[in-house]
Amino acid sequence: MYIVNIHEAKTHLSAILKRVETGEDILIAKAGKPIARVSPIPSAAGKRQPGSAKGKITMTQNFIEPLPENILKEFEK
């Protein structure tokens, strides 16, 4: 973990934020005593993209046919 004093944090904020973007936590200190932590925000899951599984999934010819009676009964239990 990288520790910077307040003056350095103000002077080099852009550089510090670049380090945070790479996943590093930064402590900001006053008179050598840590008073704040700057840490990366976890990224949200990406947007779903229609068609992203194209060619990875196959369906049998009978996919749209009704299920056999013995399997349908299992769902009713």
Structural domains of the chain ordered from first start:
2-38 (3.40.1620)
pLDDT tens, position by position, for the chain (77 residues)?
899 999 999 999 999 999 999 999 999 999 999 999 999 998 777 788 888 888 898 888 888 899 899 999 998 87
* Exposure of 25 in the CB half-sphere (CA atoms within 13 A): 6
Provide the H-helix boundaries in the chain.
Answer: 6-11, 13-21, 69-75
User: Can you give the pLDDT at residue 19?
Assistant: 96
User: Can you give the pLDDT at residue 9?
Assistant: 96
User: Can you give the pLDDT at residue 47?
Assistant: 81
Token pair belonging to 45: 């899951």
How far apart, in whole angstroms, are the C-alpha atoms of residue 29 and residue 9?
Answer: 9
User: Can you give the pLDDT at residue 45?
Assistant: 72
